[in-house]
């Protein structure tokens, strides 16, 4: 149920937190905080998947890619899924012990955003924005955990993660575009239509600009900007490819590349602090 064999979502959730940890720590984050945020990302992403499947079980039955999920197919009942949810949320709550009061208070916002996302696709033409708000909030918590305050740089990193999520999740949504349109579910892939490649390009460009500004504010060295240039080339290539209709398989391949893109950015931040 938690897609244990596919942890791309966990990577995309934890990477913005690691960006913030390294940036706020000037390159050398506290090992305990590293463990807390990596473990927390796995637990919260797993819990988020359960919440998503609970909310979408009737929808998932109508989508080819998701009709065999445990709740959609009837293998699990909603009550069993709620029990599984608590299995992940309880140890996640225990991790709060290792955070300062400011970071702990911010965690409640993360839970609300994660729970809101499954319902956003029913009312918003760009539900990917809510996903970005949720996935990026870990960066805000991480910054607070390190510095016990929130600074201008925090919000540039957060804005970058929102734009990043809108780019990669628009690509992901291409897989289900026809099914979503048929059953009345909204996504940025549908809203953008033939201009999807332009939207992904704009989201990617904003991400790079915001990250570059955060790096400038933190006085990162040139290796960081060299990595951003390389990442920009990859993101531009992805957007260019979207000018043509791509298969669901290819859209998923492009989506998975973003874990490596995010890892490259993390390396660039670290090198920029040396």
Global confidence as pTM: 0.92
164, 206 Cβ separation under 8 angstroms = no
Least confident among 84-88, 178-182, 191-195, 259-263: 178-182
Confidence (pLDDT) at 138: 93
Residue 214 near residue 167, CB atoms below 8 Å: no
What homologous superfamily does CATH list for 8-273?
A: UbiA prenyltransferase (1.10.357.140)
Q: What is the pLDDT of residue 233?
A: 97
Residue 212 confidence class, pLDDT cut points 50, 70, 90: very high
What pLDDT, on a 0 to 100 scale, did the predictor assign at position 49? Answer: 83
d(CA 191, CA 186): 7
Distance CA 156, CA 255 (A): 23
pLDDT at 239: 96
């Amino acid at each position: 149920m938690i897609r244990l064999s596919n942890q791309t979502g966990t990577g995309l959730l934890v990477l913005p937190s690691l960006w913030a940890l390294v940036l706020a720590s000037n390159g050398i984050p506290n090992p305990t905080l590293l463990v807390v945020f990596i473990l927390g990302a796995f637990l919260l992403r797993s819990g988020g998947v359960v919440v998503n499947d609970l909310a979408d079980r009737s929808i998932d039955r109508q989508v080819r890619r998701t009709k065999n999920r445990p709740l959609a197919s009837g293998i699990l009942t909603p009550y069993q899924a709620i029990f599984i949810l608590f299995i992940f949320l309880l140890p996640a709550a225990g991790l709060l012990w290792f955070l300062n009061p400011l970071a702990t208070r911010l965690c409640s916002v993360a839970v609300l955003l994660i729970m809101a996302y499954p319902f956003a696709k029913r009312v918003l033409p760009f539900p990917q924005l809510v996903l970005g708000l949720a996935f990026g909030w870990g960066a805000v918590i991480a910054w607070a955990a390190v510095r016990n305050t929130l600074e201008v740089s925090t919000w540039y990193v957060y804005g970058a993660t929102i734009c990043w999520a809108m780019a990669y999740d628009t690509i992901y949504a291409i897989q289900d575009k026809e099914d979503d349109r048929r059953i009345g579910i909204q996504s940025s892939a549908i809203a953008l239509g033939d201009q999807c490649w332009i939207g992904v390009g704009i989201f990617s460009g904003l991400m790079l600009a915001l990250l570059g500004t955060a790096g400038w504010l933190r006085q990162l060295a040139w290796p960081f900007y060299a990595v951003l240039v390389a990442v920009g080339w990859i993101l531009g290539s992805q957007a260019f490819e979207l000018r043509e209709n791509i298969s669901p398989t290819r859209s998923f391949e492009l989506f998975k590349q973003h874990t490596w893109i995010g890892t490259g950015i993390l390396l660039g931040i670290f090198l920029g602090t040396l």
